[in-house]
Amino acid sequence: MTFKARLLLSYLIIIALPLLVLSTLFYRTSLHVVTEQAQKNVYAVVKKNNDVIDTKLGVADQNSRALFVDKDLFRIFNDLDPSADEQLVAADRKISAILSKYFSQNEDVYAVQLWTSYFNFGLTRSLPQGDPAKSQIYKEAEEAAGKMVWYPTYDFTRMFDQAWLKDGDIEFRYLFSATRLLNFSHLEDSTLVKLKPGVERPVLTISYKSTVLDALFEKSIPAGSTYMVLDPNDVVVASSDKSQVTGTYKQDWIDAFRAQGSGTTRLKLNGANQIVVFDRSEVTGWLSIVVTPQSALVGSLVPVIRTSTIVSALALGGVALLFAYFILGRVTVPIKKLMSAMRSVGEGDFQTRVEVTRNDEFGLLSQRFNRMNDRIAMLVKENYEIKLKEKEAEIHALNMQMNPHFLYNTLNIMNWTAIENNQRELSKMLVCLSNMLHYTSRKDWGAVHLSEELEWMRNYFYIMSARFEGKFSVIYEIEPALYEEKLPRLLFQPFVENAILHGFSAMETGGRIAIRGWTEGQDRFFEIRDNGRGISKEGIDAILYKESASVGIKNTISRIRMAYGEAYGIRIRSAPGEGTSVIVHLPHNAQ
C-alpha cells in the first residue's frame, strides 16, 4: 500500500471508530432517557388513578361514619318491631330517604343498603339478593365489629346464591362492596344513648360495579398495557383480562410490591421486557398494578432515534471524509514534491531545489532540504559521513530530552549533590519533587488507591511547608478500611492548595489542615478542614457555580460527577474568620 492509501485508511479507522462509539452511545442514551421518562409518566398515571379511587371511595367511608350518630336511624332501629310488616315498609321508606341524603350525590355508588336478618332496607336498585345475611360479605362485616371492610369483586349470582341468573346478561354481575356493622348511638343532654341490647345491628353495604375501576385505567394507561387491582389476599378486584376478575393471582414478585407499597421496576415477563408500576390504595389497601411492554412505550420512537442516529453518523462521516481528503492533499502533495526532488538528488543532481510556498512544517522541511543539498554539494566527498553521524547524535540528544527518565535522573544527580554538600533539607525536597513528578507523569490516569494519593499529598505538604517556613501543620484521621479503596487522582490537591495559598494568607503561623475520611452505609466522605480566614457565601457560590471559578476545583467536581454520577460531589461550609470545611462525597467501594 502507498503512504497515501495507508494514511487514508488510518483516517477512516480513526473517524469510523469514534462515530460508531458515539452513535451507539447516543442511541442507547436516547433510548434509556425515553424509557425512563415514559416509566415516570406511567407511574404518575397510576398514582393519580389511585388518588382518584381513594377520593371516591373515601367519601363513602366518611359518609358511613356519619351514620353511626344519625338520630333518625337510631330511633328507627331502636323502636322497630321486626315482626310488624307495616313498620318494616315504613322504615324502609325512611331509611331509603336517609341513605339517599348521604350517598345520592356519589354517581359511582351502585347500591346502598342496610342488611338485617329480617329485612333489607334502602334497596335503591332491583337486586334479587335473597337472604344477604347468609353471605360471606355479611359475615365479614359482623366479624369486623364496626370497622369498614372492603370486600373485593365477587360474582353476584354466586355470592347470593342466585343460580337462575347465572347465564343471564346482567349489569350487576361483578360488584365490589364496602360494609360496616352500624352500632348506632348519639348524645342527648351530654349522655351517650345506645341501641337497646336486644336490637339487631344492621350491616351497611355500599356496592360498586367493577367497571368503576376499569374506566379509570382503560382511559389513562398507554396502549398495549395491562392492569390489575389485587386485594391483600391476591383476589383480583379489576383487570384488563376479565376472565381473571374474582379469581386469585399469586406471584412472588407481587409480595415484594405489596411490602414496598408504591414504586416502579422492570421485569422480564412472558419472555419480554416489561415496565411494572404499582401503588397501594390508602383507603382499601388494594394494590394497583400496570404492566407495560417496554416496546410499547418506545416502539414509535425507536425508528426515529435509529434514523436520526444513522443520518447524523453519515453526515459526520461525510464531513470527516472531506476533511480527510483535504488534509491528505496538504500532506501528500509536499511529500511527493520532496520525493521527486530526492529522486533527482539520488541520481546525482545536487542542484535540484524544492519550491517553498508554505510557512508550516513542510515549508520548513523544504527549506532544510534545499540547504542540505547545498551542503551535500560542498562536502559530498569529505564530510558526508561525519555530518550524517552528527545529525544522528543530535536526534538522539533530542530524544533523550523528551524522555521522562532524563528529568528523574537529573533530579537524582541534584539530590546526591545536595547530600554530598550536607544539604539534607534540599535533598528531601528534591526526593519529594521527584516522587510527585513520577506520580503525575504516569500514563495511566485511572483511579488510584487512597494510600497512593495520601503519599503524594505528604510530599506536596513537605515542599509547601518548606516554602512557607512551617506556617501550617497537617493531621490525618482516616478509617483504615478506606486506604485500599480507589478514588480519582489528585482529588484533594485543589482544596489544600486553596487553604495554604488563600486561607493562610493572613497568618504567619498556626495554620492547621485536617484531612478526615469515614464511611456511612454505601457512601464515603472525606473532609479537608482548615482554620484559615474562611470564605463568604458569595465566594462559595462563585467557586461552585461561576464559570470564572477555580479551574482545579471545577475540574475536580466534574471528574467526580463523570465518574460516579450527579448524586456525588463536594459541599463547602465556611464563613469569614471561621475557617473552611470541604466535604467530598463518593460512593463506597467504587473504582
With cut-offs at 50, 70 and 90, classify the pLDDT of residue 401: very low
Mean pLDDT score of the chain, rounded to an integer? Answer: 80
Mean pLDDT of 546-554: 69
Helix, strand or coil, per DSSP, at residue 144: helix
| Each residue's pLDDT tens digit, 333-376 | 777 777 777 777 777 776 777 777 777 777 777 777 777 777 77
Total number of residues shown for the chain: 591
What mean pLDDT is predicted for residues 25-32? Answer: 76
In tens, the pLDDT along 457-476 reads 888 888 888 778 778 889 99
Domains of the chain, first to last: 68-209 (3.30.450.20), 320-402 (no CATH), 444-587 (3.30.565.10)
Given this model, what pLDDT does residue 397 score? Answer: 39
| Model pLDDT for residues 282-329, shown as the tens digit of each residue | 888 999 999 988 776 666 666 776 777 777 777 777 777 777 777 767
The per-residue pLDDT for 573 is: 92
Chain centre distance of CA 352: 68
- Structure letter (DSSP) for residue 248: B
- The residue among 14 and 410 whose pLDDT is bigger is 14
Q: Rounded to whole angstroms, how far apart are CA atoms 557 and 545?
A: 11
In sign, the C-alpha dihedral spanning 450, 455, 458, 463 is: negative
- What pLDDT, in 10s, does the model give residues 408-458? 556 666 666 767 677 777 766 777 777 676 666 655 556 888 888 888 888
Global pTM reads 0.48
Strand partners for 486:
449
Which of the given ranges, 120-134, 158-172, 488-502, has the highest pLDDT on average?
488-502
Kind and range of the H or E element at 180? strand 174-181
Give kind and range of the element (H or E) at residue 43: helix 3-67
Share of the chain above pLDDT 90, in %: 12
Give the tens place of pLDDT for each residue, 166-178: 777 777 788 899 9
pLDDT band (50, 70, 90) for residue 41? confident
Phi and psi, residue 549, nearest 5°: -70, 180
Q: Concatenate the DSSP letters of all residues of 200-220 into one string.
A: PPPEEEEEEETHHHHHHHHHH
Question: Is the per-residue pLDDT at 275 higher than 50?
Answer: yes
Q: Taking 60 as the threshold, does the pLDDT of residue 381 lie above it?
A: no
Q: Which residue has the cell 482545579?
A: 552
Higher pLDDT, 61 or 35: 61
> What are the pLDDT digits (tens) for 183-228?
888 777 777 788 888 888 999 999 888 888 888 888 888 778 889 9
Judge contact between 260 and 275, C-beta under 8 A: no
Query: Is residue 242 over pLDDT 80?
Result: yes
Query: Kind of pairing, strands 511-520 and 472-478?
Result: parallel
Neighbours of 263 (CB within 10 A): 13
